[in-house]
Amino acid sequence: MSTSRRTTAAAVAGIAAFAMIATGCASTPAGDDKEITLTVATFNNFGYTDELFAEYEDANPGIKIVHNKAATSNDARTNYFTKLGAGSGLADIEAVEIDWFAELLQFSDKLYDLSSDEVDGRWLDWKSEAATDADGRLIAYGTDIGPEAICYRADLFEAAGLPSDRDEVAELLTGDWDHYYSVGEKFTANSDAAWFDGAGAIMQGVLNQEEETLESRDGEVIATTNPVVKDAYDSVLAASEGLSAGLQQWTKDWEAGFASGAFATTLCPSWFLGNIEGMSPDVTTWDIANVFPNGGGNWGGSYLTVPDQGDHKEEAKALAAWLTDPEQQLKAFVKTGNFPSQVDLQTADELLAVTRPFFNDAPSGEIFADRAVAVTVAPYKGTKYFPVMNELQNALVRADVTKNMSPAESWDQFVKDVAALG
């Protein structure tokens, strides 16, 4: 066999060289072991600034933080599940939105246990309860919640002969959803603009006030049979006929509508303030009213998790605990309006003193602290909530935005689509 040794050696060398090309020569310098890089993945805008991370790096030598931001919660979700399945590739700290949190919770064995005495009692009860798995492990740290108020265009209110001061508007709108619609009818009678942006947003507002909507607590999808959902669907679409601007959330037309004054009011969770500022930078008449139809409502809110696949789980846990500490979360609120989920902050003076210049110096701290207290129901969102809500939103779009189906036809299609989710 000695004859072919050289050939074999050449072949092996060739294959090795080729393998190096194929893997892109991904040899990382072993280097200094002390330096640890932690990656933090968030979406939209969590209000975590570079300065904030720099502060942590200074206090903890040997730790370097890299922050990756996804554009939307949907993108972050796709990324999370793909890489959780693959078993590698996730950041050390991954942000999760409440709507798909339950889906993740069923794979809680792939997440690192974050319970510790240090963080016990840091969050509102319903926030930390939702982040505790069946075995009693706390698998996520709460960042923000989404108490809802009403944002409105003062100039359009004035032109239609309605009061435009934020306290008077709050008084005007106090009541249930039907009351909100009836004020809308008064408004549209005297204005070319619509009352609200689209049926999809209103539906979110209505359903987030109900305990069981799309799924029952034992995990069954009841969206198509639950009278709560059907009633909400019918009443929202009936109101939309005269009051909706017919815009689908997060589309180009919808974004343009914020600047052009296509509608006068929009449901306004705390984290949404930053978005409005971004979409209509030249409008000076957006304001916030301390009111929400039918009491309080929570829309959205997020968590930080530490996937079990990471290399530096203890360090990541410490960073996540620091980021969700009241002090840091307050900074995030000032920056983007993400209302904190930490108990200590709910009534803190620093938080109550916060105002938003863009919204004519509205006391956003005070308003959203009030709105958070008004939240009494934590809707149950199970593993199928996200996909079913997606189909429901599609159903509303067909009847309210594209108008290529009647509400009844679109509902039938929704029933079929939910069955097809399987």
Partner 1 sequence: MTTQTLSAERRVRRITFSHRLNRWDVKVSPYLYISPFFILFGLTGLFPLVYTAYVSMFDWHIIGGQGDFVGLGNFEWVLGQERFWQALGNTFSIFLLSAVPQVILAMIIAAVLDQNLRAKTFWRMGVLVPYVVAPVAVSLIFSNMFADQHGLINNTLTSIGLSPVGWHSETIPSHLAIATMVNFRWTGYNALILLAGMQAIPRDYYEAAMIDGAGRVRQFFSITIPSLRPTLIFVIITSTIGGLQIFDEPRMYDTYGEGGASSQWLTITMYIYIRAFGQSGGGQFGHAAAAAWILFLIIVVVGLINLLITRALVSSTSASKRSKS
Rule CB under 8 A: say whether 13 interacts with partner 1: no
Examine residue 406 and tell whether it contacts partner 1 (CB under 8 A).
no
Q: Does residue 107 touch partner 1 according to CB under 8 A?
A: yes
The C-alpha atoms of residue 291 and residue 268 are separated, in whole angstroms, by 10
Q: Segment contacting partner 1 (CB under 8 A): 138-146, 324-332, 354-362, 387-395?
A: 387-395
Pairing of strands 263-269, 194-196: parallel
The binding track of 228-257 with respect to partner 1, each residue x by CB under 8 A or -, is -------------------xx-xxxx--xx
Cα separation of 180 and 308, whole Å? 47
Residues 6 or more apart whose CB falls under 8 angstroms from that of 416 comprise none
Contact between 74 and partner 1 (CB under 8 A)? yes
Q: How far apart are CA 280 and CA 358, in angstroms?
A: 10
Least distance in angstroms from the C-beta of 232 to partner 1: 18
Largest CA distance in the chain: 99
User: Dihedral (C-alpha) 5, 8, 13, 19: value to the nearest 10 degrees?
Assistant: -160
Distance CA 86, CA 100 (A): 19
Interface pattern 45-64 for partner 1 (x via CB under 8 A): --------------------
215 binds partner 1 (CB under 8 A): no
Choice between 224 and 346, CB closer to partner 1: 224
Residues 14-43 interacting with partner 1 (rule: CB under 8 A) = 14, 18, 22
Cβ atoms of 352 and 127 within 8 Å: the answer is no
For partner 1 (CB under 8 A), the number of binding residues is 50
As measured in angstroms, the least distance from the Cβ of 201 to partner 1 is 14
Residue list 155-214, contact with partner 1 (CB under 8 A): none
For position 3 contacting partner 1 by CB under 8 A, the verdict is yes
How many other CB atoms are found less than 10 A from the CB of residue 284?
A: 12
Is the Cβ of residue 247 or residue 291 nearer to partner 1 in the bound state?
A: 247
Residue 316 CB, nearest distance to partner 1 (Å)?
20
**Taking CB under 8 A as the criterion, which residues in 293-332 touch partner 1?**
none
Q: Kindly list the residues in this chain that would bind partner 1 in the complex (CB under 8 A).
A: 1, 3-4, 6-7, 11, 14, 18, 22, 72, 74, 77-78, 81-82, 84-85, 107, 110, 247-248, 250-253, 256-257, 260, 262, 384, 386-387, 390-391, 393-395, 397-398, 401-405, 413, 416-417, 420-422
